[in-house]
Structure 1
Amino acid sequence: MPDEDFSIQASALNHWFGTGEARKQALFDIDLRIKRGSFVVMVGASGSGKTTLLTLLGCLREIQDGSVILLGKELRHATPAQNVRLRRRLGFIFQAHNLHESLTARQNVLMGLQVKGHIDKTASDRAAAHVLGLLGLADRLDYLPANLSGGQKQRVAIGRAIVGNPDVVLADEPTAALDWDTAANVVDLLKRLGQARGTSTLMVTHDNRILDRADRVLTLEDGRLVGDEDRRA
């Protein structure tokens, strides 16, 4: 049953890739609950299933076996329309920034509002500029991606993910291209969203510098959740 204190509840979650003799299990009996407003980090070696788990929790793959309750809604057997409605309540940050090269930094961030149905241009422009300012890009609002560094592009992608105040942020290595001061600023911004608005963040990372800022650290190994450490003082 859904528990309103938790934004994500996964139970006995399994996943496979391929068919027939090539079928291989990627996730094994994942049981996971993430509280609203918490900042959770997931670590593990490449190929351990971290990105697969993120995509399942984010309605980007079909639930094959087990249960995932996202924001009170069961994802197994959810319709495409139900998944679309849920995705509008999420913020995604991927390793590749996936910016539109023909759009400015501000316009790329505005896309994070447009997919949620925000149409007031003045308010949307102000929100996009505000978020980019928080990310240290106030002087890059009208720059095209070609004129931004790799780290600046990633910050634009982060801005696009959070501008609509999502209920859940799912992030895959979002700080990999950032220096430590900028990475710490991003993490602190996500934590403030959790405290102010109840946004939950699940971040996959290999950046050990972030672990001390996490509420919890999950460890995934060969598709199994083998560690769950509470880091709150």
Structure 2
Amino acid sequence: MSRTAAPIVVRGLEHWFGEGEAKKQVLFDVDLVLQPGKLTVLLGASGSGKTTLLTLMGCLRRVQQGSVTLLGMELAGAAEDVLVQCRRRLGFIFQAHNLHDSLTAMQNVRMGLEVHGPAATAQWESAAAHLLDLLGLRERLNYLPGNLSGGQKQRVAVARALIGNPDIVFADEPTAALDKESALNVVTLLKRLGTERGTTTLMVTHDSKIMDLADQIITMDEGRIVQDSSLS
């Protein structure tokens, strides 16, 4: 895929949960385009379809109807090995940090390289330490999660998502557990990766300070995109 090509293109995307009489449509004719190296913020009330959309674009759910082109690959009807290849080029940050309690901060970050095979883990220590240092955790490299605050755990989770140099970062309320300074540091780092490496970030957030830094803001309501700043 060309470095200048749109990393995500969604056309006519629709999605349902449940079966039979309980079947409910949650996404309706969603169209969007994300630009390379940019920070896009996804807004909407709880239940508006934000997380469902994010997980479909992130290969965590199967596309039922419509088209999702991710890094030049069509996800609708894609074989499992294609989806695995795509996932290896993505980073995920969720509200729940999901750290392994028995691993140190450094070791938890290393887990982000497991999907890339043995070769990728060869120089993991210096890369993990560098990321944790950038996120203000230089003094906590060898701490277990039980000895970290909620905000520190979340920053470890951010480092884990970034350790494999992903092409796209999907972040679902990643700064909810962070203080203002830490949240700004995380988003500034993501913006920097966009400028220096072309990393594209799609972030679900309601933090106004982060929205001020966004290159594109998409608003959802009841499964539909009702506003897209790139089209205004």
TM range, smaller chain: over 0.9
How many residues in Structure 1 have an aligned counterpart in Structure 2?
A: 230
1:18 maps to what in 2?
A: 18
Tell me by how many angstroms 1:195 deviates.
Answer: 0.6
2:128 maps to what in 1?
A: 128
Rounded Cα–Cα distance in structure 2 between residues aligned with 1:32 and 1:209: 23
Distance 1:4 1:120, change over 3 A: closer
1:9 maps to what in 2?
A: 9
Partner letter of residue 124 of structure 1? W
Contact 1:118 1:124 in 2 (8 A): no
Contact 1:4 1:72 in 2 (8 A): no
1:66-145 paired onto structure 2 within 5 Å: 66-119=66-119, 123-145=123-145
Rounded Cα–Cα distance in structure 2 between residues aligned with 1:218 and 1:34: 10
1:1-233 paired onto structure 2 within 5 Å: 5-119=5-119, 123-230=123-230
Structure 2 length-normalised TM: 0.96
Write out per-residue CA displacement over residues 8-51 of structure 1, whole angstroms, 9 at most, x where no aligned residue: 00000000000111110000111011011010000110110100
- The DSSP-based 3-state class of the residue aligned with 1:125 is helix
Partner letter of residue 43 of structure 2? V
Partner letter of residue 39 of structure 1? L
Q: Which consecutive unaligned segments of at least 5 residues does structure 1 have? A: none
Structure 1 length-normalised TM: 0.95
RMSD over aligned Cα atoms:
1.6
Contact 2:114 2:121 in 1 (8 A): no
Rounded Cα–Cα distance in structure 2 between residues aligned with 1:6 and 1:90: 15
Contact 1:10 1:30 in 2 (8 A): yes
Contact 2:3 2:36 in 1 (8 A): no
Rounded Cα–Cα distance in structure 1 between residues aligned with 2:160 and 2:35: 23
Over 2 Å off, 4+ runs? 117-122
Identity of aligned residues (%): 62
